[in-house]
Structure 1
Amino acid sequence: MITSNEVKKMVSDEIAEYTRETGLLTGLIRRAGAKVFRKLENKDINVVLEYCEALLEERNWELGVVAYDWAYRVRKQYTEETFYIFERWLKEYVTGWGDCDDFCTHAFGELLIQYPVLFEKVEQWTKCSEFWVRRGAAVVLILPIRKQKYDFNPFVISDSLMLDSCDLVQKGYGWMLKIYSTVEKDKVIEYLNLNKSKMPRTAFRYALEKLDKEERNLLMGKI
């Protein structure tokens, strides 16, 4: 079987080949990672996630992109226990909003679709000291909401994060509310009306973006 060190070298070499003329573009990095993934003899989730961890341990942005992509590629093998691996990655290897969004809107979001009972564990992230984990509590809901495959109340998360002082967390739950408005517009409008006096303007304006002009103006008090 291919060793973790061999995988790291294969991925690094392939990324260098794909991005030699263009620079480190996310799409090309994923394409390079996909090419190496096809070469893996054993695609059992335990083996693949071990490779992913080895890539993440390098704390290198492009290797992280590949790791999160590979984690999504084995989504048909997810179990409820996969949550504990993903949560540990979120807390240990993610260090900014970009990695958070990449991981949470794909692999982690898919896990929540398959096991909505995990929402109760996601709620606990809103109390975490790291901003990207708190942001993740909102962003991880985006894929289930987009696919309309959820049975949780997204407002539970925005309520918990409402007065968060970090603008990246505010933008995160504002983004989630924006996506939710494409599925449950009336509920989101009612929620924004109820909370607009205390919701930070950053979150509020993000949440408005998918509403039509008249609805936005009403909520902003321009009509």
Structure 2
Amino acid sequence: MKTKIKQMHEELNTFPTSKAVHTMASKLYKDLPKSDDEFIELCDELIQSHDWTLYEMMTIWIKKRKTAYLTKYFKTYEKWLYEYTNNFGACDQLCYRVLNPIIERYPTLFEEVRKWSKSDNPYVKRASAICLMKSTKSFVVNFPFSYVKEISDELLEDNHIYVQKGVGWLLKYSYLSYPEEVVNYIKSNINRMSRITFMYALEKMPRQLKEEIIKNK
């Protein structure tokens, strides 16, 4: 199977489009191990190549296999976050396709998310915010606002641009689920927010409300 994956991977361009990667992932998926344990083991081997295309295909495969969202695999996914996720694109794909679904299914895993927010790795920190958003045609925050607040409080003054963007992104979509809470949170923390976080957080608000809050920045 690994030989076939390598051969088909070589057929892709050096910088394949997302559509091409999805097509290749679908072609290969039917031949992947039926056993979930063997499937995760294969993914774990592939990710060690540090190849972005294989990383992306792996997250697509996991999203297709709902039985891969079991707590016994969580530590493997967490290892991928810590050891192989080194850019914001990889972070977000792992969050949307792998981490968010399993954390939503098992909310007690939020205990681990708390630890991510205190990491020295900016992409692990970013994941603590991004994993709270469910990716659909847009994004939805299904977790209690207390989770959003806790992670935001921890990351709000971080100076890494992708952490700042991650917090802003989380607050932006949390507004759709918790409008009053998010507005109050922004007003209470307006002087702690970077300009990037602040402007991202306002994006889903009505124009008049947005302008009112901006006046106080």
TM over 0.5: yes
Give the 3 Å change call, closer, same or farther, for CA 13–144 of structure 1 in structure 2: closer
Q: Distance in 1 between matches of 2:140 and 2:211?
A: 28
Identity among equivalent positions (%) equals: 27
Q: Which amino acid aligns with 1:85?
A: T
- Residue in 1 that maps onto 2:195: 201
Residues 121-132 of structure 1 correspond to what in structure 2 (within 5 A)?
Answer: 121-132=112-123
Unaligned 5+ runs, structure 1: 1-5
Change (3 A) 1:81 1:169: same
In the TM superposition, 1:44-193 aligns within 5 A as 44-143=35-134, 146-147=139-140, 149-151=142-144, 153-193=147-187
Give, in whole Å, the separation in 2 of the partners of 1:155 and 1:75.
29
Q: Is 1:30 equivalent to 2:39 in the alignment?
A: no
Matching of residues 5-16 of structure 1 within 5 Å: 6-7=1-2, 9-16=3-10
| SS of residue matched to 1:105 | helix
Conservation of the 8 A alpha-carbon contact between 2:133 and 2:141:
no
Partner of 1:3: none
Post-superposition Cα deviations, 1:97-127, rounded to whole Å, max 9, x if no partner, equal 1100111111111011100111111011111
How much is the aligned-residue C-alpha RMSD, in angstroms? Answer: 2.0
Residue 11 of structure 1 contacts residue 33 of structure 1 at CA under 8 Å; is this kept in 2?
A: no
Q: Partners of 2:141 and 2:157 in 1: how far apart?
A: 27
Q: 1:122/1:23 Cα in 2 relative to 1: closer, same or farther (>3 Å)?
A: closer
Q: CA deviation at 1:147?
A: 4.6
- Size of the aligned set, in residue pairs, is 213
Question: Normalising by the residue count of structure 1, what TM-score does the alignment of the two structures yield?
Answer: 0.88
Q: What TM-score, normalized to structure 2?
A: 0.91
Q: CA deviation at 1:149?
A: 3.7
Unaligned runs of 5+ in 2: none
Which amino acid counterpart does residue 197 of structure 1 have in structure 2?
Answer: N
Distance change (3 Å), C-alpha of 1:126 and 1:82: same
The 2-side partners of 1:206 and 1:11 are apart by: 39
Instruction: Summarize the Cα distance change of 1:148–1:176 in structure 2 as closer, same or farther, 3 Å threshold.
Output: closer
CA–CA separation in structure 1 for the residues paired with 2:116 and 2:15: 35
2:205 maps to which residue?
211
